[in-house]
Structure 1
C-alpha cells in the first residue's frame, strides 16, 4: 500500500502519469533520503512485472579510443597526449564477438570514440559481417554523433540498437561540460541525433551522468523530463568519475546514493526500458552492480575487449575489470547476481512496450509506444 506522504504522492503521480513537473522532479531529488527506499521498492516491483528476475547481459567491445571530441570529463578527449591510442581491426572485433557468442552472449555492443577511421562504410561492412556470422544476435552501436544518413546506413546494414547519452538536457550545463570542444557542441545537436536514431527505427538509448560538475537538482529534473519526452528504449545512468588528465580532475565524483535513486526514478518513468547497472557504478562501490539491480536496473555489460583495449579505454580513472570475458569470470558474475535473487539471462533482451501500471496494480492506463 502506498504511503500517504509528500514523496509517496510524487512517486504515485510519476507511476500513474509517466512524468512530473520540473519543480516536482527537483523536489523529489532534494528529498531523496526520505524517498529512496520507497522509490527502490516501486522500481523493483515495476521491473519484475516486466521481466521477472532476469538480468540481461551484453558483451561490450571497446573498438577505438581515438576521438575527435574534447569533452571536459573524458579521459580519451582528443587533447590528452598521455593516452596510448588504439583501434581494433575488424578481424579482432569479430574474434571478440565469436568469444562472446561462445560464452552465451546474444548482444554485442561496439563502443568507441568518434574516430574518422571508423568510416560509415567501414562500420556498415562490419555490421553486415557480424549479422551474417551471428544472425540470432543483436548488434548495438555506440559511436557518437553522426549524420542522419550515417545512422540510416548502419541500421540498414543490420545494427539493431544505438546508445548515445544526452549527458545534460540543459543547454548551459551541456556547454559547460563541453567548453573546450571546437567547433562548439550543443545539447540541441545531441537531442537531434537522438531523434534521428528514433526515426531510423533503432532501439535507442540515452542517459546522463550523476554528480557531474556544475549539475543541480534542476538540471537533473530537465534530464528526467527529456527522457519522458524521448521515451528511449534504453537509459544509462552512471556517476561522474574524474579523470586526472581532464579539466575536471579536481571535481568530486558522483555518489552511488544519488545514482541508485535516479535509477529507481528512471525505472518508474520508463517501465519497459532496458537499464544497465553500469561499470561506473560498480567502480565507485564494491557492490555497485548489485545496488543498481536492486534499484530497478536489468542489464549488465561485461567488457569482452582485449586487455590492451580495456587498459587504454580510460574515459574515467580506476575503471574496474571483473574478468567476465572468461567462463570463470562469467560464473562469478552469475553467482553474484544469483546471490541477490536474480538470474543472468541468456536471451537477447529486446525492448517491448507494455501497458503502464502504477503503484497500485488495479489502476492502469495505456502508455504511448514508439
Structure 2
C-alpha cells in the first residue's frame, strides 16, 4: 500500500472509531433505565423522552416501585390549619403581600376534629401544613397540637409537619412532642433560579433553606423536600440538577408537581413564557418516574397540583412511581383561602367524599391502601437499621 492510501485508510479508521465512541456515549432510554445511577446528561435524556421511550421510562419506574416499596399507597390526611405567612415567595398565592387573601387560622378543635377523622378512618398519618411563621406563640401552639393528636389517637397517628423554616430548638421540640416527618420544599436546587423566584432579602435565603434541611436530619426527622416543575426561566438542566440534589441530600420523601401560575403573584407576568399546562404535567410525570429510578426506596407523593391539570393526574402519578396520596381534611370553609396556585381541586369535598374519591383513585391505579400504617420511608428505615449495627 502506498503512503497516500495508507494515510487515507488510517484516517478513515480513526473517523470510524471516533464515531463509534460517540455512539457509545449517547445512550438511549432503554440503556439508561437499566442502570442504577445516572449522570445529569442521562437524566436530561429521560426527561426528554417521548412516545415509545416515554412508555419504557414509565414501565421501568413502575417496576422499580413494585420491587422496592410494593403496591401500598399511604394516606396522609392533610390539614392546612393556617394561611398566615411571613414569606413573600414570588410564585405563591398566600404570600404575605397578597392583600386579596382572606387570612384564617383553624381552631384547635377544628384541627383535632380533622385528625380524629383521620384516626377513626385508619389513614395512618396526618400532615399539619401552614404558612411560614416563626414566633414563640406559633411554636407553642404546634407543640400543643402535636401532644393532643398523639393523645386522641392513642399514639397511633403518624404526624408530618410542613411549617417552614424554624430554629434547631423548635425542630427538636416538635420532634420530641410527636412529629416524625417534616416537609420543607426547596422549589429549586439551583441558587440562581431560587433567587429569581424569591425576593432578594434575608428572609428568603437559599443557604438558610439548606441549613434547615440539615437541621431536620440532625434532629432525627424523616426529611422531605421537593421542587416545582415548569417554572419560568427553568431548563432541563435545572430539573436534572434537582434530581441529583435530592439524591445527594439523601432525602426520605419528595413532594413535587407542576408549577401552576396564580394571577395575584409577581411571577404571573411571565405566564407567556411558560410551557403549556399539559407540557408541565407530562414533565412532572417524567420527573416522578426518573426519581423513582434514581431513589427507588423513598416515598414520593402524588401531588394535588397534578389533578389541577388532569382529572386523573394523581392516578397517573401512582402508576409510574408515587406511593403517597394526601386526602384533604381541611375544613371546607377554609380551603378556598389556601390556594397556593389556581384551579386547586377538591375545594368543596368534605373529608368523607375526599376519602371515597381517593380510595377509588388508588384502586384504579392498581394500588392497595396501607390502612393504619405510618408508611415510613424504606430509605429512612434501612438507613437507621444500618447505623444501628
The TM-score, its normalising length taken from structure 1, stands at: 0.89
| 8 A Cα contact 2:46 2:286, kept in partner | no
User: In structure 1, how many angstroms separate the alpha carbons of the residues matched to 2:209 and 2:146?
Assistant: 23
How many aligned positions are there?
Answer: 353
- CA–CA distance in structure 2, aligned partners of residues 193 and 48 of structure 1: 32
Say if 2:58 and 2:286, in contact at 8 Å, map to a contact too.
Answer: yes
Which residue pairs with 2:29 in the alignment?
7
Cα pair distance change 1:32/1:149, threshold 3 Å: farther
Equivalence for 1:351: 377
Bigger CA radius of gyration: 2
Shift of 1:323: 6.4
Alignment of 1:176-255 (within 5 A): 176-178=196-198, 180=199, 182-250=201-269, 251=271, 252=274, 253=277, 255=280
Q: Indicate if the aligned counterparts of 2:175 and 2:221 stay in contact, CA closer than 8 A.
A: yes
**CA–CA distance in 1 between the matches of 2:169 and 2:50?**
42
CA distance, structure 2, for counterparts of residue 10 and residue 329 of structure 1:
38
Mean alpha-carbon deviation: is it higher for 292-301 or for 116-125? Answer: 116-125
Superposed CA RMSD in Å reads: 2.4
Instruction: Give the structure 2 partner of residue 338 of structure 1.
Output: 363
Aligned to 1:283: 308
Check the 8 A contact 1:302/1:324 in 2, yes or no: no
Q: Gaps (5+ residues) in structure 1?
A: 357-365
Q: Is the contact between residue 160 and residue 181 of structure 2 (CA under 8 Å) also seen in structure 1?
A: yes
* In structure 2, distance between residues paired with 1:241 and 1:89: 29
Bigger shift: residues 4-13 or 212-221: 4-13
Residue in structure 1 matching 2:158, options 138, 147, 167? 138
113-122 or 202-211, which deviates more: 113-122
* Matching residue of 2:110: 92
Mapped partners of 1:126, 1:184: distance in 2: 26
Residues 198-220 of structure 1: CA deviation (Å, up to 9, x unaligned):
11110111110100111111111
Distance 1:22 1:367 in 2: 29
Q: Secondary structure at the match of 1:286?
A: coil
Shift of 1:322: 7.0
Question: What does 1:50-65 align with in structure 2 at a 5 Å threshold?
Answer: 50-65=68-83
Task: Tell me the residue number matched to 2:22.
Answer: none
Q: Aligned partners of 1:48, 1:221: CA distance in 2, in Å?
A: 24
Residue 38, structure 1, aligned to residue 64, structure 2 = no
- Greater helix content: 2
- Displacement of 1:51 in angstroms is 3.2
Match of 2:324 in 1: 299
Query: Which of 289, 292, 295 is the matching residue for 1:267?
Result: 292
Deviation, 1:328, is 4.4
Map 1:14-25; keep pairs closer than 5 Å.
Answer: 16-17=36-37, 20-25=38-43
Quote the offset at 1:186 in angstroms. Answer: 2.6
Alpha-carbon distance change, 102 to 259 in structure 1, aligned in 2, over 3 angstroms:
same
- Once the two structures are superposed, what CA deviation does each residue of 1:61-118 show, in whole Å capped at 9, x if it has no partner? 0011010110010000000000000011222211111122222212010001113466
Give the structure 2 partner of residue 360 of structure 1: none
Q: 1:309 corresponds to which residue?
A: 334
Distance 1:339 1:142, change over 3 A: same
Give yes or no for contact 1:171–1:186 (8 Å, CA) kept in 2.
no
